[in-house]
Amino acid sequence: MATLILFVLIFGVVVVSHEFGHFLLAKVNGIHVVEFSVGMGPNIFSFQKGDTKYSLKLFPIGGACMFEGEDGLEVKEGEASEGSFLNASVWARISTVIAGPLFNFILGFIIAIVFVNMVALRDPVATEVIEGGGAMEAGMQAGDRILSLNGEKIYLYEELTLFIQTYGGGDIILEYERDGQVYTTVVTPRYDESEGKYLIGITNSDFVELKGADSLKYAWYELRYSVKSTYKSLGMLVTGRVERENVAGPVGIAVNVVGKTYEATREYGWETVMVNMLYITMLLSVNLGILNLLPIPALDGGRLVFLLVEVIRGKPVPPEKEGMVHFIGMIFFMILMVIVFFNDLANIFT
């Protein structure tokens, strides 16, 4: 029961923030919001306020902010009302569409501010250089601060871990700071049989003491790390480097992420549970923001593609044609959701 409650709360916060972004900018831009709903499936509860219907639906795995004329399939040319999505300026529509993902990132940043004040953070500093490791052979010493890996700047020790997790082999051009001077060296990670992964050959046990505005700075670093881990995971998924067992939908997230994390941390007290749930919420919010920006029909990113085409060509794509593309995209996602659902069940019961 605790897992279900936590899952509903986490998904609810993430989905509401996304849909509220669309809702707020639609109202600002004079676009008629037909329905604002949380969840999917049949209604549990709904009410009408003004010209908008507010609904709570049975399955807590999504939500919607529906605009008048948004899909373009039900509106004939020249018949859209004043508050129709189609009659708003192109920049009003762009801002309304992009507001959903943007609010997910804003939510992630707010959570990150709380998160960094509750956990121990580590800078990417080598407190120990392992004998015989790649870092020692490259001339690194204890106290060196890693600045970038293959030109990719890092600000948290966890970013070094993420880099190694997605490491594809070969030498790494490593930039580091020592006594105020910046140096560049080449490191070749070594495969560690006991760890089952490649290692650079350094450890870190020094924790950051936050002062003044450090909370905002490190909250930004955490948000940035979440964005990096999301798009790198997507890259691994596309290239086939992620196993089926590591792909999860709502059911898998509820059971394998929220449930197992709760079971593993509850003995340490509510603060530990809260910190971990905050981190999951931040990561899911960033995930939702990034996924919705992908240029795929039916997603916010797919709608943005059509809107940018309209900006470039000076006139919109015929709404019935755009609507049909998004309709096909929605069918595709419904099929994908079924596949992911059965994948979740397979992961749970095998």
The architecture of the domain spanning 122-206 is Roll (2.30)
- State pLDDT tens for residues 30-73: 999 999 999 888 899 899 998 899 999 988 778 889 988 776 54
Put residue 240 in one of left, alpha, beta given phi > 0 → left and psi -120 to 50 → alpha.
left
CA distance 283 to 293: 16
Q: Show the DSSP H helices in the chain as ranges.
A: 2-28, 90-116, 134-137, 157-165, 214-238, 250-252, 260-265, 270-293, 300-313, 319-349
Query: For residue 194, what pLDDT is reported?
Result: 77
Query: For residue 73, what pLDDT is reported?
Result: 47
Structure tokens at 112: 């990150």
- State pLDDT tens for residues 168-197: 778 899 999 999 999 999 999 888 787 778
DSSP character for 43?
A: E
- Phi, psi at 185, each rounded to 5°: -140, 175
| Residue 299 CB neighbours (<10 A) | 21
Query: For residue 92, what pLDDT is reported?
Result: 94
Query: For residue 346, what pLDDT is reported?
Result: 61
What amino acid occupies position 142? A
CA distance 203 to 65: 47
DSSP 183-228: EEEEE--EEETTTTEEE-SEE--------TTHHHHHHHHHHHHHHH
What amino acid occupies position 134? G
Show me where the domains of the chain are located. 2-117+283-349, 122-206
Query: For residue 79, what pLDDT is reported?
Result: 54
- Phi, psi at 44, each rounded to 5°: -95, -40
CA distance 222 to 119: 12
Whole-model pTM: value is: 0.86
Sign of the four-CA dihedral 326, 329, 331, 334: negative
pLDDT in tens, the chain (350 residues): 787 788 888 888 999 999 999 999 999 999 999 999 998 888 998 999 988 999 999 887 788 899 887 765 455 545 557 788 888 899 999 999 999 999 999 999 999 999 999 888 999 999 999 988 889 999 999 999 999 999 999 999 999 888 887 777 788 999 999 999 999 999 998 887 877 788 888 988 888 888 888 899 999 999 999 998 888 777 766 665 555 555 555 555 665 678 778 788 888 888 888 998 999 999 889 988 998 998 888 889 999 999 999 999 888 888 778 878 878 877 877 776 667 666 655 655 56
DSSP 235-287: HHHHTT-S-GGG---HHHIIIIIIIHHHHHHGGG-HHHHHHHHHHHHHHHHHH
